[in-house]
Amino acid sequence: MHTSARLIPYVTITILSLALSLTGQIAPAAIPKPEHVILVMEENHGYSQIIASSKAPYINTLASVGALFTNSYAITHPSQPNYLELFSGSNQGITDDSCPHTFSVPSLESELIAATKTFRGYSEGLPAVGATVCTSGLYARKHVPWTDFSKDLTSDNLPFTSFPTNYSKLPTVAWVIPNLDDDMHNGTIQQGDTWLQGHLLGYVNWAMKNNSLLIVTFDEDQGTTTNHIATIFVGPMVKPGKYSEKINHYNVLRTIEDMYGLSHLGNSSNATPITDVWQ
């Protein structure tokens, strides 16, 4: 046998041993680069209200086939600062639900565009492409952070009616914002769960065959000091299971940034990316 051939098993064992010695376990898989990521933000319900609840059968189905983070937390109360933190790494000095605001700093969208990637926000009830109204029926701009950043494109601010049925036409990263009834803010848990199944089930089925990811999370809980929320990742690159590391909106943002080699916005620069859930 050629000497180099005899060395291959030993090299493999050495690398494996190094991984074990450095981490105490097999080293986690590298953060993947999904073709598409969709993030859906739900509203104002804590982990214990959603997980194992008979009122949220579809979300619990997603949790059973994906990665459920059992120790996931929002940053603050009320809603709007959490959206800004997940979208830009900071609340930008906003601690309430006031509107309107304009910020000149980068956001997830402008960072994606700078990296020749794409972003779109799909909001149920948005009255027109690029609309900047604070409210319109059950639409609320406070839940649509990309409307606040001057570097972002008005053409990427779309009504949910523009959500493609040909999922290959989705941008690199999309946010989906249901209206105030369908995100559980005004409506019931069951109403939000039914809306999610009705509008994202097709994408989930497609994503499993097309290297794409769904993230379902909540802006905040029902108003407690702990702010414990449900966060779920579903996709073919995800190892199903329950994961107990403590995460918050900054960890989720950091993970998306690292998927596409983006700079780290605000507090995401100090957040640990999620690395243990990947195949």
DSSP 181-246: TTTSSSS-HHHHHHHHHHHHHHHHHHHTTTTEEEEEEES--SS-SS-EEEEEEESTTB--EEE-S-
Residue-wise pLDDT for 3-48, tens only, equals: 444 444 434 444 444 444 344 444 556 999 999 999 999 999 999 9
Q: Contact at 8 Å (CB) between 79 and 253? A: no
Bridge partners of residue 159, in order along the sequence: 123
Task: List all residues 6 or more positions away from 18 whose beta carbon is below 8 Å from its beta carbon.
Answer: none
State what percent of residues in the chain have pLDDT above 90: 90
Tokens representing 23 are 């981490």
Structure tokens, 147: 């409307």
Which tens digits make up the pLDDT trace of 115-173?
Answer: 999 999 999 999 999 999 999 999 999 999 999 999 999 999 999 999 999 999 999 99
The model's pLDDT over 70-117, given as tens digits with 9 standing for 90+, comes to 999 999 999 999 999 999 999 999 999 999 999 999 999 999 999 999
pLDDT at 181 over 80: yes
Domain ranges for the chain: 1-30, 32-270
Encoding tokens for residue 264?
A: 């780290």
Q: What is the mean pLDDT of the chain?
A: 92
First to last CA, the chain: 34
Residue that has been written with the tokens 């407690």 in this structure: 224
Q: What is the mean pLDDT of residues 262-276?
A: 98
pLDDT of amino acid 7 = 41
Residues 177-206 have a mean pLDDT of 98
Looking at domain 32-270, what is its CATH homologous superfamily?
Alkaline Phosphatase, subunit A (3.40.720.10)
Q: Name beta bridge partners: 158.
A: 122
Residue 222: CA atoms inside 13 Å, Cβ hemisphere, count? 10
- Residue pair 82/75 in contact (Cβ under 8 Å)? The answer is yes
- State how far the Cα of 162 lies from the Cα of 123, in Å rounded to an integer: 9
What pTM value is reported for the model? 0.90
Write the pLDDT tens digit of every residue in 62-75.
999 999 999 999 99
For residue 118, the model assigns a pLDDT of 98
- Half-sphere exposure (Cβ direction) of 46: Cα atoms closer than 13 Å: 10
Residue 222 and residue 92: Cα distance in Å, rounded? Answer: 23
User: What per-residue confidence (pLDDT) applies to 28?
Assistant: 53
The phi, psi pair for 255, rounded to 5°, reads -65, -45
